[in-house]
A and B are shown apart, each in its own frame.
Chain A
Amino acid sequence: MISGQVVLLISLLYIALLFVVAFYADRQRKRGKSVLSNPHVYSLALAIYCTSWTFYGSVGRAATSGLEFLPIYLGPTLMAFTWWFVLRKMVRISKEQNIVSIADFISSRYDRSALLGAIVTLFSMFGIMPYIALQLKAVASTLDILSNPLALPPKGLGALVSQLPPEVDTAFIVTLVLGLFGMLFGARHLDSSERHEGLVAAVALESLIKLIAFLAIGIFVTYGLFDGFLDIFHRFFAQFPERHDLFQLGTERTPYTKWFSLIFLSMMAIMFLPRQFHIMVTEIADESQIKKAMWGFPAYMFLLNLFVIPIALGGLILNGGDTSQADFFVLTLPLSTGHPWLALLVFLGGLSASAGMVMVSSVTISTMIHNHLVMPLILRLNIHLQDFSGILINLKRLGIIGVVFLGYFYFKIIGDSYALVNMGLISFMAATQFAPAVIGGLYWKRANRRAATTGLILGFALWFYTLLIPSFVRSGWLDISILHDGLYGIELLKPLELFGLRGFDMFSHSLFWSLLFNISAYLTISFFSRPSDSEALQAEKFVDVLRADKAVSGKLKRISKAPTIMEFVDLMSKFIGEKQANTAITGFLENREINARGGLADHEIPNLKAFTERTLAGYVGAAPARIILENYLSTRGSRMEDVFDIFGSVTISHAASREQLSVLYDAAQIVASGADLQKTLDEILSLLSAQFKFDLCVIRFLEEESMTLVVKSQQGMSSVHFGQSERNLNMDTYIGQAFLSNVTAVVNDTDFLDKPASAEIILREGITCFAHTPIILEGEPVGVLSAFSRSVKGIFTNEFVALFENLAGQIALAWRNDEQLQGLLEVHEQEREMQIAKNIQSSLLPAELPEMEEISVAGLCVPAHQIGGDYFDYLPRDGSCFDLIIADVSGHNIGSALIMAETRTFIHARADSLRQPSDMLHSLNRFFFDNMDCSDLFVTMFYVQYCPDKRTLSYSSAGHNHPLLWREKEQKVDPLDAEGLIFGIKPDVAFEQNSTPLGKGDILLLYTDGIIEAEDSSGEFFGMERLGKLLQEAGNLTSQEIIERIMNQVRIFTGLRHFKDDITLVVMKVLK
């Protein structure tokens, strides 16, 4: 007899030991020595399958129902045989996609559907509740039995600690302890894809204790209380000859259907119970561990079951055939025979079985709740926080406690009235509902989101109705009439005899109906609907995960306005904390191409996006991760773009044959090579006709002026009527129809033509089938791709048409690329020409102005654009005389520049014969009037001649602004004026010539209207006055300095660096 305190103390010590082991495992991991790399640890951890249901329940079942306990282990043994194919595939996928739970797995496979993740999570929660309740019940009952074996009813732990209120029963304390335990192990870090080494190590140790305890009690009973197996059987049959049916099947208690159902259920449960998935897939260290587990795990189960029958029979013999306490024979047998310490060991085994299951399940379910219910909610509500990571981990901890307590409440409300075994099978049945979606998703690309969602919902509805409702009825929650009369008294709706199906046990019955609905919906909807492109891509990633030559699909994407690396890191930090984000990104960048500016190469950005998504998925689940990233990118205005259309429409790539794919791929290569359009088109056509043996392939593009389709490229037979002819656009021809309606026109058999206009030519040429598909750019047709065959009918299957359309899409791209290229070339060419013009023009202005003793001259011409219409010149004459010319041609374009050049040529050519300013202007006017149509261009000019020895300035004007003259002696500014009209208006214009003497210090300023008409922000002109004032103050500056000063002042005045109009200044200062 052991006191309750001792039991409690030892239990707590045991839990402490588990904690130490877990802690040690985590430490080892940090040192890089993972305990999980030992494959036997993996096998042992998998034995979490064997819960207290097995530990206590197997004996109970063997005693009451005989061999019925076996299928629960035979099923998984059979399933383990397939692991190298099925499980390995699941593991590979999960590692690649950072999948952390079964909800994540299903959601990821079906287009990362958030809804599907939530559904699986909710169902798992419901499904797991009875199972957790079962564990709590087992621990609580055994604790009571152990501490008060003789007290009936058991007093419970509450009696031990009298201060506690009466509601706090043993189960409550057990719940609390297990919940805390799960919290400590399962949610120390947030990243659930990071393996919980500590948790797994603890579970493995628990499995070992389970086995040792059970083997100990088995050996004790078989060889201690009895004389071996044979002795037990012998004595049992001697005592209870009528119980021979325990070892028979096909009996009323265990019909073969039930046997089969149990095997099937347990096969599915071992794969799809959330906690199994977690240990098997998420926590695995290395694929090769699967191999050892394939025989290791079944061997464990075999050993665990080796003594079930002897213990059960022994218990029956010693208890006089009473089965009421059969579930606890393993405890009562050693207790009643005076071996309390053995009973304590068994209790610890049972505790291990329960604790392991509760811990892992709660962690798993809490992760699922966190990833598939909480995160989407947070995202949906648009809660903005600087740093989520702290809150998320606490939510997860709360989730773990929450899940354990859900089990507790289930136990309090329903559990007491129901046998252990039924509760376990209810959970198994729930897990079985995941099977179609997962297995179908692994092997069938066509399976899609809608199908999986509907299948799951139907399956669970049936599960609820045929299993949970009866269990509610039995615990008194619901009126029993629903079992007898059906829902609303409808006989067909009896939960246990649905649609009149009777004669089956409730599990076979439920299995049949739930899976029938589940699978039918799944298959039918998958069959009649197509997956979206992104879903098809996911499907491919799942189904083909083990294929060595995985398709290159989806790699040809790029992100427009891509975020920088730091922005991705910031985004991650928000959800997973800064440190983890930095660690993650460092790992990613380690082996990436970094370009010269220290950024990622363009083609790496999508990888970085995928990496960010995967990393986030490890913390928050696949569906939320996708939503986070997409929201983020869309708010930035970034989006994923197809680089080439080639695998953009995945519908083709997964339906099409290898040959077709290779054509698409080659075509993409041709387009990408960027050869000239004609060559690209020719090559695509020859590819098409060579691969598929067409007699003629034609590409036509629309010529907008004539609205006809003009042949751009042709491959195959040359017929005047066919390839080379243009096509008018109307609905009477197939090609016109294809173009105008923007839909591919296919005729698979030319014996059936409905367009007489086309029929004549087609039949004459012996065409048997053909198709026209529009070449579409941004939704608008720009041309038509056509293919004709003379030999075969029916080439154009749906798949082939898809390929054909895809090729047309690629041609459209090539066409667009070419257009853009041409446009760029044109712009480039123009710019080059302008540059040449600019160079020429600036070379026309005098490169250097003379520095003489008597005077200094400086000039500047600033065109508003590359070229302008302003002009100034310096022309030496006989002796020391020289001419200064300033002219302004309206406009700043090529025309202005040409006239300016013309003017200069004229002046230089005629300078010798025309010696006076007025003569020069007169001749120029004549020249402009005769030779140029100056209707839209005007030329003004001011012509100055200065002879230093005479100190006389002669000048004439052709409608030009009045130059300013600073007279040093009189200290005033005089505008110079002379009568004269703008050039080219009238044939004969009299140009007045004036002259004025200049003295030392006088300054002449010639300018164009660009200066005085320079505007400030309020629209005010710079004006003559300001210019005059500047000149007034410039007495002691050189000519060059005066120009600079004027330019500076004008710039300050306008506030602009560049001018709207050309500006030209010439300054002449008299030095002596």
Chain B
Amino acid sequence: MKDRQGDSTKEAWILCLILGVILINFPFIHIFNNQKMIFGIPPLVLYFYIGWPASIGVTWLFVRQMNRESRYRDDETME
């Protein structure tokens, strides 16, 4: 039961990693690649400077989740 929970965390993890690779690369970033200004700031700048802390937040959530799981398990191995 707990193992399954650990596995699903791992799956979500890999999903997020793939998402991360997509989000900072062409063609996705091409969406923001224009000269229109949003609140007077270029959209790409805005995108990265919001997305970046957001990704750090996601990592933080994952670590917290992992700590919770490891509290239930003696062995922390996720591999």
Contacts and interface: CB of A to CB of B under 8 A. Distances in A.
B45 A309 contact: yes
A294 B45 CA distance: 23
Contacts of B30: 249-250, 256
Contact of A294 (B34, B49, B63): B63
Interface in A254-297: 256, 259-260, 263, 291-292, 294-295
Contact of A291 (B20, B63, B79): B63
A249 B16 CA distance: 24
Nearest to A78: B20
Interface stretch (A108-116, A226-234, A406-414, A722-730): A226-234
A547 interface: yes
Given A247-B45, A295-B59, A302 B53 contact: yes
Contact of A295 (B16, B37, B60): B60
B67 interface: yes
A77 B77 contact: no
Nearest to A300: B56
B21 interface: yes
Contacts of B13: 81
Contacts of A247: 42, 44-45
A85 B79 contact: yes
Contact of A84 (B21, B37, B49, B66): B66
B41 A233 contact: yes
Nearest to A248: B33
B56 A67 contact: no
Contacts of B67: 291
A250 B33 contact: yes
Contacts of B45: 67, 247, 309
Interface in B39-64: 39-42, 44-45, 48-49, 52-53, 55-57, 59-60, 62-63
Nearest to B42: A247
A155 to B, nearest CB: 39
B59 A294 contact: yes
B72 interface: no
A78 B40 contact: no
B26 A250 contact: yes
A74 B78 contact: no
Contacts of A249: 26, 29-30, 33, 44
B78 A259 contact: no
B38 to A, nearest CB: 11
A373 B5 CA distance: 48
A78 B56 contact: no
A74 B52 contact: yes
Interface residues of B, number: 37
B66 A302 contact: no
A260 B33 contact: no
Given A84-B66, A295-B59, A548 B75 contact: yes
Contacts of B29: 249, 259
A299 interface: yes
A87 interface: no
A91 interface: no
A237 B35 CA distance: 11
A291 B77 contact: no
A687 B8 CA distance: 39
A262 to B, nearest CB: 11
B39 A230 contact: yes
A85 B37 CA distance: 40
A80 interface: yes
Query: Most chain-B Cβ atoms within 10 A of its Cβ — which of A70, A233, A295?
Result: A295
Contacts of A905: none
A82 interface: yes
Contacts of B20: 78, 81
B79 A546 contact: yes
Interface residues of A, number: 38
B63 A260 contact: no
A295 B62 CA distance: 10
A84 B56 CA distance: 15
Nearest to A306: B49
A233 B45 CA distance: 11
B66 A291 contact: yes
Contact of A548 (B17, B25, B48, B77): B77
Interface string A583-600: 000000000000000000
Contact of B44 (A67, A78, A233): A67
Contact of A229 (B33, B41, B44, B79): B41
B55 A260 contact: no
A230 B40 contact: yes
B52 A77 contact: yes
B33 A259 contact: no
A295 B48 contact: no
B24 A263 contact: yes
B17 A78 contact: yes
A298 B55 contact: yes
A42 to B, nearest CB: 14
Contact of B26 (A244, A260, A298, A299): A260
A758 B8 CA distance: 57
B5 to A, nearest CB: 16
Interface centre among B20, B41, B48, B59 (most CB of A within 10 A): B59
A299 B30 CA distance: 25
Contact of A298 (B17, B21, B48, B59): B59
A49 to B, nearest CB: 16
Nearest to A83: B59
Interface string A240-255: 0000100111100000
B56 A299 contact: yes
Contacts of A230: 39-41
Contacts of A309: 45
A1009 B60 CA distance: 100
A1012 B29 CA distance: 112
Contact of A302 (B40, B56, B77): B56
B40 to A, nearest CB: 5
Contacts of B75: 548
Which among A85, A292, A547 has the greatest number of chain B C-beta atoms within 10 A?
A85
Interface string A65-79: 001001100100110
Contacts of B48: 67, 70, 74
In the complex, which of the residues B16, B25, B37, B62 has the most CB atoms of chain A within 10 Å of its own CB atom?
B25
B17 A81 contact: yes
A152 B26 CA distance: 44
Contacts of B21: 78
A295 B61 CA distance: 9
Contacts of B34: 248
A295 B24 contact: no
A548 to B, nearest CB: 6
B42 A74 contact: no
19 contacts: A71-B24, A78-B55, A81-B13, A81-B55, A84-B63, A84-B78, A85-B79, A89-B79, A229-B41, A230-B40, A233-B41, A248-B35, A250-B26, A250-B33, A256-B26, A259-B25, A294-B63, A306-B49, A546-B79
Q: What 10 A-B pairs have minimum CB-CB distances, sorted nearest first?
A: A247-B42, A256-B26, A295-B60, A295-B59, A546-B79, A291-B63, A298-B56, A230-B40, A78-B20, A74-B24
Given A67-B45, A74-B52, 14 more contacts: A74-B48, A80-B59, A81-B13, A81-B55, A81-B59, A82-B17, A89-B79, A230-B39, A247-B42, A249-B30, A250-B30, A298-B59, A302-B52, A547-B79
Interface of B: 13, 16-17, 20-21, 24-26, 29-30, 33-35, 37, 39-42, 44-45, 48-49, 52-53, 55-57, 59-60, 62-63, 66-67, 75, 77-79
Interface of A: 67, 70-71, 74, 77-78, 80-82, 84-85, 89, 229-230, 233-234, 237, 244, 247-250, 256, 259-260, 263, 291-292, 294-295, 298-299, 302, 306, 309, 546-548
